Amino acid sequence: MSMTRERINIPVEKLKWMYETMVKSRYYEDVMVEAYNEGKKPVFNIGAGPVPGEMHLSTGQEPAAVGICAHLTKDDTVTSPHRPHHHAIAKGVDLNRMTAEIFGKVTGLGKGKGGHMHLFDPEVKFSCGGIIAAGIPHAVGAALAAKKKGKDWVAVAFVGEGAANAGGFHESLNLAALWKLPLIVVVEDNAYGISVPKSGSTAVASNDLRAAAYGIEGAYVRNNDPIEMYLASEEAVRRARNGEGPTIIEIETHRYLGHFQGDPEMYRDKEEVPNLRKIDPITKIRDLMLSEGIATEEETAQIEVRAKKDVDDAYHFARESEYPAPEDALKDVFSS
Amino acid sequence: METIEKRMLTGNKAMAEAIALEMERDPTVFVLGEDVGKYGGIFGSTQGLFDQFGADRVMDTPISETAFIGAAIGAAAEGMRPITELMFVDFFGVCMDQIYNHMAKIPYMSGGNVKLPMVLMTAVGGGYNDAAQHSQTLYATFAHLPGMKVVAPSTPYDLKGMMISAIRDDNPVVFMFHKTLQGLGWMDQLDASISHVPKEDYTVPLDKANVVREGKDVTIVGLQMTMHYALEAAEKLAEEGIEAEVIDLRSIAPIDKETIIKSVKRTHRLIVVDEDYLSCGISAEVSAIIAEEALYELEAPVKRIAVPDVPLPYSRPLEQFVLPNANKIYDEAMKLINEW
């Protein structure tokens, strides 16, 4: 697909922010791959190393996060599933404390209690969780609260395409439509629910079509395109802020890594990911900025350095932080 | 000298073999769940079944637990013998209505006229830093609710024998397998997760505990990981001249009272170890059984070791603090012997 200047109806600063955030997000996951592998070689053991447990990385899925978060402020809510890093970064979650949480440190967002699937940063109204589709009703609640408070805030629930087949998806959208809530459900279609391809889990071609079932709007973004995602989101967020109700946006995106780190990925062709990487959205947006004269080589290089420094700083903060005292496990069950 | 050929299988292969044998024997047996097909189950419970039986009998499902567990109920009512997998027991929240208000109650509400010969298998357990929504055992949550048999085998031998029993049983059976005892290449490699498993089909009852080590000084009751920790502690206690009797509970509902009471009558001391939450759990249940039926046999208070009443934390030092282990059992046993 060609991108012409006419099509890029996006403020330059937004475009640069999207680029920087995608670079940061991608580099974050690269660093996380290394950190996660530490202590897990030569024998992989999910419980070993400085970052144990399941690790679901978002490499390749950055366009979904930046395309819509470019329209959000810290007053808007984002809920995210088990693969949350790109959403958290795009929403402006404190990178140091997020990383410390992933390393299980006391300086983490949840003092080490939550881990990578359970990040909560109320400062920027971000949360995520490990149960499929469970974040959608929470976003409905946030949207309801915004409406009750008379604010023009919106709530965005990110889910994978697999979640569209879970009961929580339907109940939430029906309710949000009924109450005309400022909710946007972003379905990241990365083609697989763990090993099961989309075609093996639903007879619906794309999940924006389901919008008709709830009497709301739907949009579909092809080719993992951050620009198209930005434009579709702009319209959905505008409608939500104007009290015109919910939208489903499905984006065709790509998961370059396994469902979790250590996934043998027997369910997909070995050539699939290398081919996808050839049409990488970060490269595409960089080429676009250069060819359209939006940024120079020097500028993009500066952006990259800045983005990576944020990640490196967060990494060092996390590594240097202390573990919680073991008996702290008993705290925080109830608020005191 | 006669030699016995050992046939070493991991927990997951023992389970999958049990299912395969029953599928060969009985055309009404089929499997449905998330990633049970080509992937072979996230924790290997259906490894090889897709290749052997094909997509019609080993069915991948969407992430729709209410629908596919409910469908297993409907198929079971029609005389099929479905085996359905809830990937992590922690995910029960989205489908508990089907499990408890329907699977567990339909046989009763129908006055026994509807049978549900189905197995709901599910992965339990923590210890590998998977945090609060992927690390629970929830043994007691299921065992508390009448209408389901609930089992939690601890060895490859029992995983196979109890799975065959579960499939042949005319009642709904919740079959909990511990992730760490599946013998998976990507988790802790425990000796306990691999053992001799006969090739042929055999059954292990769904209502009998197993005395896995005999002793006269203290009874330690555990299941799955806590039973293996108890055995480890017992070895250490033996070095101090203390002989612990270790009971593998295996079945949580029904619970084998007789074996526990008999043991306490012999040892007069009881420790119950549980990877589930402390309050209102199996450790309370076992303690109550002894309080009701063998109180005056006790020479010391009953001791319970379980997850204190907090969700499972992520960070390693926090998780290790709340989980039972062999040292905690050893220390508690030493105190029980020395102070009473």
Is residue A275 predicted with pLDDT exceeding 60?
A: yes
Nearest to B318 among A54, A165, A326 (CB): A326
> SS3 letters for chain A?
CCCCCCCCCCCHHHHHHHHHHHHHHHHHHHHHHHHHHCCCCCCCCCCCCCCCCCCCCCCCCHHHHHHHHCCCCCCCEEEECCCCHHHHHHHCCCHHHHHHHHCCCCCCCCCCCCCCCCCEEHHHCEEECCCCCCHHHHHHHHHHHHHHHCCCCCEEEEEEHHHHHCHHHHHHHHHHHHCCCCEEEEEEECCEECCEEHHHCCCCCCHHHHHHHHCCEEEEECCCCHHHHHHHHHHHHHHHHCCCCCEEEEEECCCCCCCCCCCCCCCCCCCHHHHHHCCCHHHHHHHHHHHCCCCCHHHHHHHHHHHHHHHHHHHHHHHHCCCCCHHHHHCCCCCC
Is residue B89 predicted with pLDDT exceeding 80?
A: yes
Average pLDDT over residues B55-69: 96
Chain B residues within an 8 Å CB radius of A327: 321
What residues 82-111 of chain A have any CB closer than 8 A to a CB of chain B? Answer: 101, 104-105, 108, 110
What is the C-alpha to C-alpha distance for residues A95 and A98, in angstroms, rounded to an integer?
A: 5
Is A38 in the B-facing interface, judged by CB distances under 8 Å? no
**What confidence score (pLDDT) does residue A99 get?**
98
ipTM of the complex as predicted: 0.88
Average pLDDT over residues B156-178: 98
What is the C-alpha to C-alpha distance for residues A305 and B148, in angstroms, rounded to an integer?
A: 59
Q: Among positive and negative, which fits the CA dihedral A255, A256, A262, A268?
A: positive
Q: What share of chain A in percent tops pLDDT 70?
A: 98
- In a shared domain, residues B63 and B132: yes
Report if residue B1 sits inside a domain.
no
Least Cα separation, residue B281 to chain A (angstroms)? 18
Contact in structure between A79 and A135 (CB atoms under 8 Å): yes
Least Cα separation, residue B315 to chain A (angstroms)? 4
Tell which residue, A238, A233, A236, A285, has the closest CA to residue A18: A285
Report if residue B26 sits inside a domain.
yes
What tokens were used for A222?
């092809």
Angle at B107 between CA B101 and CA B108, to 5 degrees: 80
- In a shared domain, residues B134 and B40: yes
**What confidence score (pLDDT) does residue A9 get?**
80
CB contact under 8 A, B314 and A112: yes
CB contact under 8 A, A45 and B35: no
Is A168 in the B-facing interface, judged by CB distances under 8 Å? yes
Average pLDDT over residues B58-85: 96
**What confidence score (pLDDT) does residue B155 get?**
98
Report if residue A30 sits inside a domain.
yes
What is the C-alpha to C-alpha distance for residues A55 and A61, in angstroms, rounded to an integer?
A: 15
Report if residue B57 sits inside a domain.
yes
Is residue A71 predicted with pLDDT exceeding 70?
A: yes
What is the C-alpha to C-alpha distance for residues A221 and A63, in angstroms, rounded to an integer?
A: 10
**What confidence score (pLDDT) does residue A2 get?**
42
What is the C-alpha to C-alpha distance for residues A196 and A331, in angstroms, rounded to an integer?
A: 39
Average pLDDT over residues B197-212: 98
Report if residue A264 sits inside a domain.
yes
Burial code (b: 16+ CB inside 10 Å, e: under 16) for A5-31 equals: eeebebeeeebbbbbbbbbbbbbbbeb
**What confidence score (pLDDT) does residue A5 get?**
46
CB contact under 8 A, A115 and B131: yes
Report if residue A9 sits inside a domain.
no
Chain B residues within an 8 Å CB radius of A117: 131, 133-134
Average pLDDT over residues B175-199: 95
What is the C-alpha to C-alpha distance for residues B100 and A207, in angstroms, rounded to an integer?
A: 31
Query: Predicted confidence band at A1 (pLDDT cuts at 50, 70, 90)?
Result: very low
Q: Which of B144, B174, B196 is the last residue before a domain boundary?
A: B196
CB contact under 8 A, B313 and A113: yes
Least Cα separation, residue A263 to chain B (angstroms)? 9
Contact in structure between A211 and A218 (CB atoms under 8 Å): yes
CB contact under 8 A, A196 and B186: no
- In a shared domain, residues B89 and B175: yes
Which of B43, B182, B318, B319 should one mutate to test binding to chain A, selecting the residue with the greatest count of A CBs within 10 A? B318
pLDDT in tens, B97-132: 999 999 999 999 999 999 999 999 999 999 999 999
Contacts of A323 (CB under 8 A, 6+ apart): A104, A105, A106, A112, B315, B316, B317
Is residue B237 predicted with pLDDT exceeding 50?
A: yes
Query: Domain range holding B154?
Result: 8-196
Task: Give the number of domains in chain B.
Answer: 2
Query: Predicted confidence band at B5 (pLDDT cuts at 50, 70, 90)?
Result: confident
A104: left (phi over 0), alpha (psi -120 to 50) or beta: left
> SS3 letters for B202-228?
CCCCCCCCEEEECCCCEEEEECCHHHH
Which of A113, A170, A198, A265 should one mutate to test binding to chain B, selecting the residue with the greatest count of B CBs within 10 A? A113
**What confidence score (pLDDT) does residue B301 get?**
97
CB contact under 8 A, B188 and A45: yes
What tokens were used for B130?
């998977």
Report if residue B56 sits inside a domain.
yes
- Which residue of chain B is at minimal alpha-carbon distance from A164? B63
CB contact under 8 A, B318 and A45: no
What is the C-alpha to C-alpha distance for residues B94 and B100, in angstroms, rounded to an integer?
A: 12
Query: Domain range holding A59?
Result: 15-319
Least Cα separation, residue A253 to chain B (angstroms)? 19
A112: left (phi over 0), alpha (psi -120 to 50) or beta: left
B151, amino acid identity: V
What average pLDDT is seen over chain A? 96
- The values of phi and psi at residue A17, to 5°, are -65, -40
- In a shared domain, residues B161 and B16: yes
What is the C-alpha to C-alpha distance for residues A194 and A55, in angstroms, rounded to an integer?
A: 13
Report if residue A133 sits inside a domain.
yes
Report if residue B49 sits inside a domain.
yes
Is A204 in the B-facing interface, judged by CB distances under 8 Å? no
Q: What share of chain B in percent tops pLDDT 90?
A: 97
Element (H, E) at B68: helix B65-77
- Which residue of chain B is at minimal alpha-carbon distance from A40? B186
Query: Predicted confidence band at B145 (pLDDT cuts at 50, 70, 90)?
Result: very high
Least Cα separation, residue B141 to chain A (angstroms)? 18
For residue B261, with 0-12 CB atoms within 10 Å meaning exposed, 13-18 middle and 19 or more buried, which class applies?
Answer: middle
- In a shared domain, residues B27 and B138: yes
Report if residue B202 sits inside a domain.
no
pLDDT in tens, A204-222: 999 999 999 999 999 999 9
Least Cα separation, residue B46 to chain A (angstroms)? 14
Is B108 in the A-facing interface, judged by CB distances under 8 Å? no
Q: Which of B169, B196, B223 is the last residue before a domain boundary?
A: B196
Catalytic residue among B102, B134, B178, B268: B134
- In a shared domain, residues B286 and B177: no
Q: CATH number for the domain including B52?
A: 3.40.50.970
Average pLDDT over residues B247-259: 98
Q: Which of B172, B196, B220 is the last residue before a domain boundary?
A: B196
Report if residue A26 sits inside a domain.
yes
CB contact under 8 A, B94 and A46: no
**What confidence score (pLDDT) does residue A336 get?**
77
- In a shared domain, residues B192 and B247: no
**What confidence score (pLDDT) does residue B189 get?**
87
Length of chain A: 336
Q: CATH number for the domain including A174?
A: 3.40.50.970
- Which residue of chain A is at minimal alpha-carbon distance from B184? A45
Report if residue B201 sits inside a domain.
no
Report if residue B203 sits inside a domain.
no
Nearest to B63 among A53, A132, A329 (CB): A132
Is residue B11 predicted with pLDDT exceeding 90?
A: yes
pLDDT in tens, A159-194: 999 999 999 999 999 999 999 999 999 999 999 999
- The values of phi and psi at residue B7, to 5°, are -120, 95
Cis peptide before B62 (omega within 30 of 0): no
- In a shared domain, residues B233 and B104: no
Length of chain B: 340
- In a shared domain, residues B182 and B51: yes
Place of tokens 């197993």: B210
Is-catalytic flag, B228?
A: no
Tell which residue, A84, A72, A63, has the closest CA to residue A19: A63
- In a shared domain, residues B152 and B20: yes
β-pairing verdict for B244-248 and B210-213: antiparallel
Helices A226-241, A62-69: inter-axial angle, 10-degree rounding: 40
A-B Cβ pairs (cutoff 8 Å, strict): 151
DSSP reduced 3-state for B178: strand
What is the C-alpha to C-alpha distance for residues A146 and A135, in angstroms, rounded to an integer?
A: 17
Nearest to A53 among B66, B94, B131 (CB): B131
CB contact under 8 A, B39 and A267: yes
The one-character DSSP state at B101 is: I
- In a shared domain, residues B233 and B182: no
Task: Give the number of domains in chain A.
Answer: 1
What residues 206-245 of chain A have any CB closer than 8 A to a CB of chain B? Answer: none
- In a shared domain, residues B126 and B160: yes
Average pLDDT over residues A97-120: 98
**What confidence score (pLDDT) does residue A6 get?**
53
Tell which residue, A56, A134, A172, has the closest CA to residue B91: A134
Report if residue A91 sits inside a domain.
yes
Query: Predicted confidence band at B144 (pLDDT cuts at 50, 70, 90)?
Result: very high
pLDDT in tens, A276-324: 999 999 999 999 999 999 999 999 999 999 999 999 999 999 999 999 9
